[in-house]
Structure 1
């Protein structure tokens, strides 16, 4: 056993070859413990092949980028080298103003689902730049230090903790997960290597914590609010089907709610992916409509968001059976595989995972070329985190696409330039 742990701890936990594929496989492995929910929603399509196709495509791209040592060009922006931090201060100021306005107008959603569901979309969008800028600025200042004293570690830790608290108040988990894992990866490369065994232990603890966060949100929701209504669609089903559903529900309820909550996100993701596959078999692929929605949602007037489009797709298959996969008025996280498959099947799955593999591996090469303790490490940590989280959420948020673009561009500008300034 000691030899096994020793071998495991030699692995670079957050390398392109390990981290994202490990999370993807773990996600769909845990989803297999469905506690009869697959039977209840009548899952017909296996997700095994899309997962394998995605992994093979990803590894092929990572291997190619690694073999030929590909990196991003500087995009003709070399004149900005050493000045990219200015943009971070600007973004941070915009985010802070937006966040202050949200607080002043009572948009604190952690204890009130009705508030969380009606956050001002523009302010919520802009406030995201606050935590994004803070992460990059903290890392920038850490990289400037010849020696990171205990006092400085505590200072940076306190600032990060404050950011965690501020965005926990909004009631959303995604920014918290992004901040945590980006910081975690940066800590691994810049301060102290995190052994794989420690990472797995931390992952288990975090998985439980965030699952319970979601569970708490569900059990405390106000049932008198229309958007918390749990009744099924107003359709007529046969007595035989109704009896069958009741039998399955009894089997589901034999497992305590808190146990089901531990992997409810991955089970839901598995169900949604399977239903997307079933839907496209019957109605064809979306051919770009889903990704078009990422940009159309910022246009004036009422627009259908990509995740709402997914909700309409999967619910259209279950409504006639008298059940919702996603309750009306709520959005559905399609998984990155589901997002790609909905657009064009296996062809788009291959394209999407090849792009992921190339981007992550090219950033990793830039990090190694510039030296681990350099700015590209920050960009690599952030983009890897976003891509990994999108295995569940999909990559359908314009704000994340803009952040990724900034991370890639700034890392390319700053590559070959370890940030080593005289000791302050």
Structure 2
């Protein structure tokens, strides 16, 4: 018993939100939980191993973190430090813009949580700019917490209540990603400012949060109106041999032996594993897309009807799935490719290496800024936000223009903002 307590004490001393631990831990945990597939790999006839790409991603990420850490480099100001005093004012303007767009969207388009088809039919421009509401509130509240000379539990409760209110507003839209980003950014700020979060507590909270969001998706699927074309679950009309048909039926029977609610617990990571493996299989047959996925991020703002990157991923993985008699994703839905899959589809192992190297470099640059300036600075807020978004992209990929713009703003703000706390108070 004493040895167990000593081991737990050592574990709890780990700074779980450092660049060396948090993102790699999330990546490893994500793909580790995908190993419990309940025969879904057999059902989708998965053949290609994802592990060379995963290990390469981890290796290159650590190279980026290590080099920047040892060199003690930080993000340069690019001669724009004079803009630092306007950062908070600009965030306030973005928040007000987001609030206006959110209200117009709510009163004009209904709630996305009621059905997936409603969520997809929200006004795209209003939906885009409404994201600035949670983004602005997150930065302002986090920074205000950072500036508190003495953070009491009462103040923490007030900040937490405001966080919860804004999270509820976006829960009504049916989007989970903003909720996860707000939640984990808040936890990181709480860890550094209010009370250090022990690793054992964090793992418990992570499990509870993962189950909650999995059940949220589970309920959303159960309540779909299947009479709507968007919600149909038809499978490809393809000729299979008697042996192939029998294997497919047998695999589906094995899958259905596990209760649906249990499969939902790790369905996101299992699906991510399936999608990544299918992407690797696709590139072996058809070659890489050579930047088409990443160009699609910016093409979505062009006039006319554009295909989103995640819809392109759906077409890619389903082109393989059709041959096997089973869609990976319903034809009308988008597919989250994982960040590894996003990079691999456009440029294979080389782009995976470059992408994760850059992740490591960026995170370490900001973390060095935090170490130089101290926790009570905007740099801590920037670091918490950036590492959270990067961790979320392990599943979703970084394919939303709004998130790229948010990351760009936060990184630039961290590079130009000054450390004079009195001048930056609001």
Q: TM-score, normalised by structure 1?
A: 0.97
Q: CA deviation at 1:145?
A: 2.6
**Which residue pairs with 1:229 in the alignment?**
232
Q: CA deviation at 1:146?
A: 2.0
Q: CA deviation at 1:358?
A: 0.3
**Which residue pairs with 2:122 in the alignment?**
119
Which of 393, 396, 400 in structure 1 is aligned with 2:399? 396
| 1:17 partnered with 2:20 | yes
Contact 1:28 1:266 (8 Å CA) reproduced: yes
1:190 and 1:273 map into 2 onto residues whose CA distance is: 38
Question: Which consecutive aligned stretches of 4+ in structure 1 deviate over 6 angstroms post-superposition?
Answer: 421-424
| 1:419 partnered with 2:421 | yes
Unaligned 5+ residue runs, structure 2?
Answer: none
Contact 2:53 2:349 (8 Å CA) reproduced: yes
**Which residue pairs with 1:311 in the alignment?**
314
**Which residue pairs with 2:49 in the alignment?**
46
Aligned-residue Cα RMSD (Å) equals 1.5
1:333 and 1:358 map into 2 onto residues whose CA distance is: 24
The correspondence of residues 372-387 of structure 1 with structure 2, limited to 5 A, is 372-387=375-390
1:44 and 1:371 map into 2 onto residues whose CA distance is: 48
| 1:35 partnered with 2:38 | yes
Which of 94, 97, 107 in structure 1 is aligned with 2:97? 94
| Secondary structure of the corresponding residue to residue 77 of structure 2 | coil
Which of 15, 19, 26 in structure 1 is aligned with 2:29? 26
| Secondary structure of the corresponding residue to residue 326 of structure 1 | coil
The correspondence of residues 211-222 of structure 1 with structure 2, limited to 5 A, is 211-222=214-225
Residue correspondences, number: 423
Contact 1:375 1:418 (8 Å CA) reproduced: no
Range with bigger deviation, 267-276 or 157-166: 157-166
| 1:196 partnered with 2:199 | yes
Contact 1:233 1:322 (8 Å CA) reproduced: yes
**Which residue pairs with 1:370 in the alignment?**
373
Contact 2:278 2:317 (8 Å CA) reproduced: yes
Q: Provide, for residues 63-84 of structure 1, a one-character-per-residue CA deviation record: whole Å limited to 9, x for no partner.
A: 0010001110012211122320
Q: CA deviation at 1:306?
A: 0.6
**Which residue pairs with 2:162 in the alignment?**
159
2:161 and 2:24 map into 1 onto residues whose CA distance is: 32
Q: CA deviation at 1:331?
A: 0.5
Contact 2:85 2:424 (8 Å CA) reproduced: no
**Which residue pairs with 1:255 in the alignment?**
258
**Which residue pairs with 1:187 in the alignment?**
190
Unaligned 5+ residue runs, structure 1?
Answer: none
| 1:327 partnered with 2:341 | no
Contact 1:370 1:418 (8 Å CA) reproduced: no
Q: CA deviation at 1:140?
A: 2.4
| 1:65 partnered with 2:71 | no
Q: Provide, for residues 82-136 of structure 1, a one-character-per-residue CA deviation record: whole Å limited to 9, x for no partner.
A: 3200110110011001000011113311122321121111111100000000011
Contact 2:115 2:223 (8 Å CA) reproduced: no
1:342 and 1:130 map into 2 onto residues whose CA distance is: 32
| 1:107 partnered with 2:110 | yes
| 1:350 partnered with 2:389 | no
The correspondence of residues 122-137 of structure 1 with structure 2, limited to 5 A, is 122-137=125-140
